Structure 1
């Protein structure tokens, strides 16, 4: 039986990825003592891998596809297929940022002031290429973790670190002087697997469902009944992806109106709909929106 070898990211992205797959239709049960979680799809064979190593495993064919960060694909300069972007993280639905930070009281104000300085980072190759392109000579050292503390302890003049909210950077008294790049999660594939018709279709189906689940984030459905003489007023204030669905009720001078809207406007929209004459208003969650 054909199986697709799929890599799932370990660490900060693991929980968010498993939740995303569940919303997309796959139930993944992590195993407590190994890196091979169960999944309710006989076509898939899952492995948990560090995002930093994922693109290498995919490139080498140890995995057919995997989810990792754009940053680590760039770091490894991996020869793989980027199937699609999946913009999510452990705390938000926005890209992460790799930034250059220094001590809050440092004399370093711009990246040019880093000439001859020591920089600590886990993203060594990308950082080297960045400073080489800027013709700025720096000493870049690999950081095994707790990178923010390197500046505090005087082990480095600056760091290149990933952030979502900047809270950890601020907690260490650091100041951001430059944004190196933005990154997001991606579904990537091995080139040989991508050329296999069965595997490619499976990968594309996974991409479709994952993107559909992300599209539905903070989007809800609204359904209501509206009398015919109130219909134009209700429809005029209804946002929708295209246009609201309007269907006549059986043997009545009433209509059923249905649409999808952003969750953050519902609290203001429903009172307005009620005021315009909508009745029996129902709000319901959405799992997927397929474009």
Structure 2
């Protein structure tokens, strides 16, 4: 039996990734002290790998494909084939940013002020490339963690990842510039991407993952509407696309089916009722496949 070797990111993205897979229809569990998650698809073999290393193992063929951040692909310089962008993270759906941050009272206000300074970061290569682009020479040191506490005693500035900036502000740091914006990517080994069976398996997996992401925050609405009230009811619907309108046995009535944002339902249903809709049914969505 053919098997696709799939790398899942360990660490901060692990639970968010597992949750996405579950919504996509895959039952995935993480046995204690094991780096091999169990998934209910015999054609998938999963391995937990730190996102920082994912690109390297996908590039050398140890894994056929995997999920990791664009930032770690850039940092490692790995030669992989990017098949999809999957915008999700441990906190929100917004991309993460690698930013240059300094103490609030620092005299560093731009790239040129970093000349001769010391910078602590986990993304040494990204930082060095950014500095070179600005023609600035500075000392870049690898940080093993707790980077926010490094300045001003151990570094003049840091390059750190953030989604909201809350942690930086809590440590009395201000953002000077953004070096890189990153989202999660589904990447493949170039040779694996050319293999017909493996590529089809990857495409099928991505179809389900994208469908699960598209359904987040959406619900379906069904209702019956008199034809005489149809225009008024449709005017109240902020549809994902044009609503589906189907005839009913009673020729004076039609069925309307649509998809809307979940957080608007409580406002829209009373308006639909007042506009003439009846038999209104709200139902959850697990996937939206275009």
Task: Provide the aligned C-alpha RMSD in A.
Answer: 1.1
Map of 1:98-177 to 2, 5 A cutoff?
98-152=98-152, 154-177=153-176
Counterpart for residue 229 of structure 2? 230
| Cα-to-partner distance string for 1:239-284 (whole Å, 9 max, x where unaligned) | 2232101112223522211101122322322221111011122222
CA distance in 1, matches of 2:273, 2:250: 23
How many angstroms apart in 1 are the aligned matches of 2:81 and 2:107? Answer: 43
1:19 aligns with 2:19: yes
Q: Are the equivalent residues in 1 in contact too, given 2:111–2:134 (CA < 8 A)?
A: no
Preserved contact between residue 27 and residue 40 of structure 2 (Cα < 8 Å)? yes
1:1-291 alignment, distance < 5 Å: 1-152=1-152, 154-251=153-250, 253-291=252-290
Gapped regions of structure 1 (runs ≥ 5): none
TM-score, structure 2 as length reference: 0.97
Deviations 1:188-220 (A, max 9, x none): 000111111000000111111111111111111
Deviation for aligned residue 1:228: 2.0
State the TM-score, normalized to the length of structure 1: 0.97
Deviates more, 1:104-113 or 1:86-95: 104-113
Distance (Å, rounded) in 2 between the aligned partners of 1:107 and 1:162: 22
Partners of 1:250 and 1:124 in 2: how far apart?
68
SS in 1 for 2:151: helix
Secondary structure of residue in 2 paired with 1:151: coil
